[in-house]
Chains A and B, each alone.
Chain A
Amino acid sequence: MSAPTFRPDDDTPTLELRGVNKSFGAVQVLHDVHLTAYRGKVTALVGDNGAGKSTLIKAIAGIHPVDSGEFLFEGQPVHVTGPRDAAALGIEVVYQDLALADNLDVVQNMFLGRERRTGLLLDEVSMEQAARDTLARLSVRTLKSVRQQVSSLSGGQRQTVAIAKAVLWESKLVILDEPTAALGVAQTRQVLDLVRRLADTGHAVVFISHNMVDVFEVADRVAALYLGRVAADVPISEVDRTRVIELITAGRSGDLGIAPAAIAEVGV
């Protein structure tokens, strides 16, 4: 596996959120959220339904800009006020519905909206080569042809194409929203391998999942959200499955988690 830019000692987080708050009207969805994601590492973002995972990634992606708090990218404070800002920084999000056009082929989907041109013409040659290179870099061997229509692909292959599309753009941080949710065993395997390779090729990866098996298999760090608060953001070696589930359901586990006072304040 080639790992051209992987530097495990690099301890500046690619993404660091400090004290981020977000409200929709009177409802505060994110409270004082701290989150870090490091290059070459997979950070699992876990939490129950309604814990604020989706709001958090949409905040990072600029779809719902944060109300207050610090947003640092590669150590620099930045202001992300829209999806274009996030894309310009190198943040790519793969949403659960993948956003692929079934009637286009793999190459066309990967370059959708950012087609390469020579003059007026689409530069199909260069796009197909770049798509092949990206897929090869991710060691994707499960596609028959890059000129296959996406409608003929399996769920795992579609996920692969969506992830490869995110990687194509010199992205530094890739956020995956439940990439294995709808997949079978073998396909989950492919996608988890791909997530690992994403990190190994120098990306910071944030991986949302409900599946503890997947989390413990692929993640280096785990961040647990509980009612809009970060209950823990720790290396995965410091927790086990039971503790993560406690963090998700109760916000606390032993010495980890939200202070009992804060939980009481939420009224649970």
Chain B
Amino acid sequence: MSRTVQPSATDIPENPAPQSGFEGDVVDDSVGGYLRGYVNRVRGGDLGALPAVAGIVVLAILFTGLRPDTFPTPLNITNLLVQAVPISLLAMGLVFVLLLGEIDLSAGVVSGVCAAVMAVMMARSGIDWWWAVLVAAAVGAVIGLFTGVLVSVVRIPSFVVTLALFLGWQGVTLRIVGQGGTVPVRDPVIVGFTNDSLPALWGWILAAVVIVLFAALQLNRWRVQRSRNLASQPIAVVVARIVVIALVTLAVTWVLNLNRALNPNIQLLGVPYAVPVVVALLLLLTFVLTRTRFGRHVYAVGGNAEAARRAGINVTRIRILVFALSSTLAAISGIAAASRLASVDPGSGGGNTLLYAVAAAVIGGTSLFGGRGRVRDALLGGLVIAIIANGLGLLGVEAYLNFIITGGVLLLAASVDALARRRAAATGH
């Protein structure tokens, strides 16, 4: 029988069997090509960290102009970073949930429940701080499992499940704390988490470790990709990224290591303990999301759940685990918030806590439609939100305006996300 296939225009004839694999890989790997690719991606709707970074820069300049005496001081910058800690921790968990295309409206109040559990254990039963923290995290995980089962096994839309739980868990916090009561947190370790700082030398050592680790990982990956002839970024881009991260790390460490005491007779300086903890969680969760099978499957379920199911991925299990992870991070966020205020009350985790965290994730670049997002988005977006909250506080803006502005920022971020998505659909990115 004769073959009926004719050579075609798209097929390069007389090309011998390829040597090293993929001669069709014609991506321009010069710096210019990389930049062009980046500009194309941005124009195609994939904005990445751009809105958050621009937001941080613009807001910092704005508030520095409006309050030059109080905004850009070491004391306020430290405050601002610590303000960002609970928001960012909560947002890190929400990034995972949003990646699946789900939402967790109860994350804020779950942080309140867990903080209340911890505070009550320590204040009323005198239990050690580490034991109380462990139990609070476990409570968060169990709550997340419960939410996850309702969403992925019972198949109730996550919006409805978590809206119901938003109300329900507030009642539980009220029951634990007691009507009108406030549970003080006096444990020096818990309070010190956000209120005490590392000695200056340790701050520098940690900064150096982070920079060296980041540079080593980046350069090693580049070297392996190059030696195996795989797709890689231009070395100049890799080095530039390392330099930027190093400069930011060193600048933040420097500011935090300046004396920020208002009283000239005492010295107050150093990196707050919470900052390295957040950085460690950022690295750990980024690792989970980008280097492990679980993380890959989270992206796959968010991108195309049916494709994931057919590929043999247990979609139900991924969903439950993500809600458990998110609620566990909510617990840690609740502990950080309790540490900052040195108390837990029935309103802890309520109000605008969740709104701030969702806004942080979305401003950072995580899509509300699922499938797109990174852990670092939580940190960048958390900083934007913290700068807004902090700056408005310094301006002495009335409460009503504060609500309106923060709500507006979330709407703005969601609009950018929706428009970027439409643009991406139109341009095929």
Pairing of A with B: yes
Q: Interface-forming stretch among B2-10, B73-81, B160-168, B246-254?
A: B2-10
List chain A residues, Cβ under 8 A from B292: 120-122
B-contact 0/1 string along A97-141, CB 8 Å cutoff: 111111110001000111101001110010011001101100111
A-contact 0/1 string along B150-182, CB 8 Å cutoff: 000000000000000000000000000000000
Q: Are B300 and A101 in contact (CB under 8 A)?
A: yes
List chain A residues, Cβ under 8 A from B297: 113
Q: Give A124 Cβ to nearest chain B Cβ, in Å.
A: 8
List chain B residues, Cβ under 8 A from A121: 291-292
List chain A residues, Cβ under 8 A from B428: 151-154
List chain A residues, Cβ under 8 A from B311: 99, 112-114
- Taken together as a complex, chains A and B put the C-alpha atoms of A147 and B37 apart, in Å, by 13
For B21, give its contact among A129, A147, A190, A192 (CB under 8 Å): A129
Q: Which B368-389 residues have a C-beta within 8 angstroms of A?
A: 371-372
- Taken together as a complex, chains A and B put the C-alpha atoms of A261 and B134 apart, in Å, by 76
Q: Are B21 and A133 in contact (CB under 8 A)?
A: yes
Is A216 among interface residues, defined by CB-CB distance under 8 A? yes
Q: Are A122 and B3 in contact (CB under 8 A)?
A: no
Is A17 among interface residues, defined by CB-CB distance under 8 A? no
Is A217 among interface residues, defined by CB-CB distance under 8 A? yes
Interface residues on A, range: 35 or more
Is B429 among interface residues, defined by CB-CB distance under 8 A? yes
For B, the interface residue count at a CB cutoff of 8 angstroms equals: 47
- Taken together as a complex, chains A and B put the C-alpha atoms of A153 and B428 apart, in Å, by 7
Q: A99-B310, A102-B303, A114-B311 are in contact. Are A144 and B26 (CB under 8 A)?
A: yes
Chain B residue, CB-CB nearest to A153:
B428
Q: Are A129 and B307 in contact (CB under 8 A)?
A: no
Is B128 among interface residues, defined by CB-CB distance under 8 A? no
Is B299 among interface residues, defined by CB-CB distance under 8 A? yes
Q: Are A132 and B11 in contact (CB under 8 A)?
A: no
Q: Are B10 and A103 in contact (CB under 8 A)?
A: no
List chain B residues, Cβ under 8 A from A98: 307
Q: Give B102 Cβ to nearest chain A Cβ, in Å.
A: 15
Chain A residue, CB-CB nearest to B427:
A152
Q: Give B81 Cβ to nearest chain A Cβ, in Å.
A: 31
Q: A101-B300, A125-B224 are in contact. Are A113 and B308 (CB under 8 A)?
A: yes
Q: Are A144 and B27 in contact (CB under 8 A)?
A: yes
Is A239 among interface residues, defined by CB-CB distance under 8 A? no
Is A196 among interface residues, defined by CB-CB distance under 8 A? yes
List chain A residues, Cβ under 8 A from B422: none
Is A146 among interface residues, defined by CB-CB distance under 8 A? yes
List chain A residues, Cβ under 8 A from B312: 84, 113-114
Q: A2-B17, A99-B304, A136-B18 are in contact. Are A189 and B24 (CB under 8 A)?
A: no
List chain B residues, Cβ under 8 A from A182: none
Is A232 among interface residues, defined by CB-CB distance under 8 A? no
List chain B residues, Cβ under 8 A from A112: 296, 300, 307-308, 311, 313
List chain B residues, Cβ under 8 A from A115: 293, 296
Q: Are A104 and B299 in contact (CB under 8 A)?
A: yes
A-contact 0/1 string along B51-64, CB 8 Å cutoff: 00000000000000
Is A186 among interface residues, defined by CB-CB distance under 8 A? yes
Q: Which B261-316 residues have a C-beta within 8 angstroms of A?
A: 291-293, 296-297, 299-300, 302-304, 306-308, 310-313
Is B230 among interface residues, defined by CB-CB distance under 8 A? yes
- Taken together as a complex, chains A and B put the C-alpha atoms of A190 and B7 apart, in Å, by 10
Q: Are B23 and A136 in contact (CB under 8 A)?
A: yes
Is B240 among interface residues, defined by CB-CB distance under 8 A? no
List chain B residues, Cβ under 8 A from A132: 21-22, 25, 230
Is B12 among interface residues, defined by CB-CB distance under 8 A? yes
Q: Are A100 and B26 in contact (CB under 8 A)?
A: no
- Taken together as a complex, chains A and B put the C-alpha atoms of A104 and B303 apart, in Å, by 8
- Taken together as a complex, chains A and B put the C-alpha atoms of A120 and B303 apart, in Å, by 23
List chain A residues, Cβ under 8 A from B22: 132, 135-136, 146
Is B228 among interface residues, defined by CB-CB distance under 8 A? yes
Is B1 among interface residues, defined by CB-CB distance under 8 A? yes
List chain B residues, Cβ under 8 A from A120: 291-292
A97, A101, A135, A147 interface centre (most CB from chain B within 10 Å): A101
- Give 8 nearest A-B pairs by CB, closest first: A113-B311, A101-B303, A132-B21, A103-B303, A132-B22, A103-B371, A99-B307, A141-B24
Please, could you name 20 A-B residue pairs with CB atoms under 8 Å apart, sorted by A?
Answer: A2-B17, A99-B304, A99-B310, A101-B371, A102-B304, A103-B302, A112-B308, A113-B308, A113-B313, A122-B293, A122-B296, A129-B21, A141-B12, A142-B24, A143-B24, A152-B429, A153-B428, A186-B9, A192-B5, A196-B3
Question: Which residues in B have some Cβ–Cβ distance to A below 8 Å?
Answer: 1, 3-5, 8-12, 15, 17-18, 21-27, 44, 224-225, 228, 230-231, 291-293, 296-297, 299-300, 302-304, 306-308, 310-313, 371-372, 424, 428-429
Known: A84-B312, A112-B296, A186-B10. 5 other contacts (CB 8 A): A97-B306, A99-B307, A121-B291, A193-B10, A237-B1
